[in-house]
A and B are shown apart, each in its own frame.
Chain A
Amino acid sequence: MEYAVTTDRLTRVFGNFTAVDQLTLQIKPGEIYGFLGPNGSGKTTAIRMLCGILEPTSGTATVLGYDLSGETEQIKRRIGYMSQKFSLYDDLTAAENLGFYAGLYNIPRRERKSRVQEMLDMAGLTGREDELVAHLSGGWKQRLALGCAIISRPAIVFLDEPTSGVSPTSRRRFFNIISRLASEGTTVMVTTHFMDEAEYCNKIAFISSGRLMAVDTPDNLKQNVLAGCLVELDLPNAMDQLENIEQLPYVKECSVHGLLLHVLLEDESNLGLLEEYTGVPAKPITPSLEDVFIALANKN
């Protein structure tokens, strides 16, 4: 199997709103594939279609070689899915939740106990397995939900904003688990709007208003998406200068990053002109993913 996921002009329309518009992409097995985009850009809709719980309006897709039209049940048997809400049963304990999903995926009875234990270890919930989920805090719930999604050892796991509402330490811990999963051969498709999380991905797809804007490795995106030269300015009155600098003919974009200004020039040759205009040194920098994200979101 060359690709874990392929889509060809996958589209979903709700009424007169096109949530996902002609999405075409390929995900290689074992990749951590990041789905990056603003709120309402169609990430969740795309994932729901790939999980076989939402009918595409048009277009085709395969997941693990199975066609999305007609083979959704085969797909469901082989994937894991974690929704934004950490959908667990509050009135069951951590171990009971895992046991329930183990049953849903038809894991043989004699294996269930060890599989549940394995997930508890992974989630760091050993010792708290008999606590009701209602009493667990965000980070624990998040890792438990992941445990429920991967207890069947799926070949691919879809994570829909898995880190919303949890602390940075929990997020770090979560992505360590994800990286380990991927190194063991599991394909991971994850949506997020946290830039630091995107850095963990092997490949990032930017999606905006349902359309795919760019796909590449994080490094390549930083190198290639911004045509021109990105410089950093340390101006005392950055906010006041923002508009003036934006008006300059050779400036493509200007945005505030903390106390600094990031200015995108058409060309490196404009460097001198800008320094002359502002009176401070313009330092060329490598764009961050955030710069890329904003540039792509503005393009649309």
Chain B
Amino acid sequence: MRRDRMTLGLIFMLPLVQLLLFGYAIQTEVKHIPTVVFDQSLSVESRDLLDAFGASGYFDMTYAASSYTEVNQMIDSGAAKVGIIFPPDFARVIQRGESGQVQVIVDASDNMVANQAMAVANSIGLLQSQKVLLQSKQFKGPPYDIRVRPWYNPDGITAFYMVPAILGIIVTMTMVIMTSMGIVRERERGTLEQLIVTPIKSYELMIGKIVPYIALGYLQITVALLVGVLIFHVPIRGSLLELYLLTLFFITASLGLGILISNIAKSQMQAFQMSFFVMLPSILLSGFMFPREAMPKVIYYLSTIIPLTYYLDIIRGIVLKGIGFPYLVGQVVSLLVFSVVLLTLSILKFKKKIA
């Protein structure tokens, strides 16, 4: 161990980096949820309630929409997690002393954000109603009637948002560990040395290392989806074909990461340790377990260099939201950039030389 600096380093780095990282990153209380507002009433009454939402600190009024379609798009694309809609007659209804309905749409494909947003929205409604009731006696019921609508997973079934995410984790874990260990094993056994003495080209060798794993990745996804659909009854609302096509970018990005590790690791043991070292942040920072919205800025940016972060948007988007490529361009481009950069680096670094 004293001679194996890398292992020693990892043993110290693991608690140090990971604990510090996650100690700060893991916040289950989500503040500043991006919110889209479609205020058809544009009145003092709607403004008052919106102010209360904003003042709570939980909602950021990021977007103002001018139609239902716009609200839908915002939430479908994931730009906003919450939509607040005031009907045109909101102010008039309240002035008449009746309950004014406010629709609060919550993206329930991410359940931690959704649960919190729903709870907070309801309590703001109650609190504000009480304030108004204290000042005025004309109301028969609560003046603000908050109607929360959890979209995509209205019954809050855990399996619905967990299954797609776990699928992503399984795939990235398998790809990273298998490629990194596979290549390092060949180096350990000497077959890699034997290979580079042959006329095979670097890129041919890389393709040979990548293509079989892509096939394996698809096999895994198929098995996982079958289990999800047949046993957990996860609905697949979007296009399966699209899901398969976009998954390719995620698989290649994960493979690129694996090959990068194999370039650094000197033994299979090291490759495994390093894979583990990269997998932990993937699980904890990608938004799989903890909402990214709640993370401090630095760590939020850190989560943007994790392929799984983008794939979670893609798979939850297609499976639960039923959205398609047009909404996921950003994520796909990010994964594509990952793949291209990592694979090019690997091919360039792999020079058919030893030492």
Contacts and interface: CB of A to CB of B under 8 A. Distances in A.
Interface stretch (A25-33, A50-58, A135-143, A273-281): A50-58
Contact of B194 (A55, A77, A81): A81
Interface stretch (B87-95, B147-155, B195-203, B340-348): B195-203
Given A53-B354, A87-B189, A88-B191, A105 B196 contact: no
Contact of B352 (A48, A53, A85): A53
A72 B194 CA distance: 15
B354 A106 contact: no
B189 A101 contact: no
B353 A53 contact: yes
Contact of A104 (B189, B198, B352): B198
Interface residues of B, number: 15
B193 interface: yes
B193 A53 contact: yes
B157 to A, nearest CB: 43
Contact of B190 (A73, A77, A83): A83
Interface residues of A, number: 25
A148 interface: yes
Contacts of A72: 352
Contacts of A194: none
Contacts of B200: 104
A106 B199 contact: yes
A104 B352 CA distance: 14
Contacts of A54: 353-355
Contacts of A17: none
A84 B196 CA distance: 15
A79 interface: yes
A53 B199 contact: no
B198 A87 contact: no
A83 B192 CA distance: 11
Interface in A116-170: 148
Contacts of B355: 14, 54
Interface in A90-104: 90, 101, 104
> Which 10 A-B pairs rank lowest in CB-CB distance, beginning with the nearest?
A87-B190, A85-B190, A87-B194, A81-B197, A104-B198, A77-B199, A87-B191, A76-B199, A51-B197, A53-B354
Interface of B: 189-191, 193-200, 352-355
Given A85-B189, A104-B198, A105-B198, 19 more contacts: A48-B354, A53-B197, A53-B352, A53-B353, A54-B354, A54-B355, A72-B352, A73-B199, A76-B199, A81-B194, A81-B197, A83-B194, A84-B190, A87-B190, A87-B191, A89-B191, A104-B195, A104-B199, A104-B200
27 contacts: A14-B355, A52-B197, A53-B193, A53-B196, A53-B197, A54-B353, A54-B355, A72-B352, A76-B197, A76-B198, A76-B199, A77-B199, A79-B197, A81-B194, A83-B190, A83-B193, A83-B194, A85-B189, A85-B190, A87-B189, A87-B191, A88-B191, A89-B191, A104-B198, A104-B200, A106-B199, A148-B194
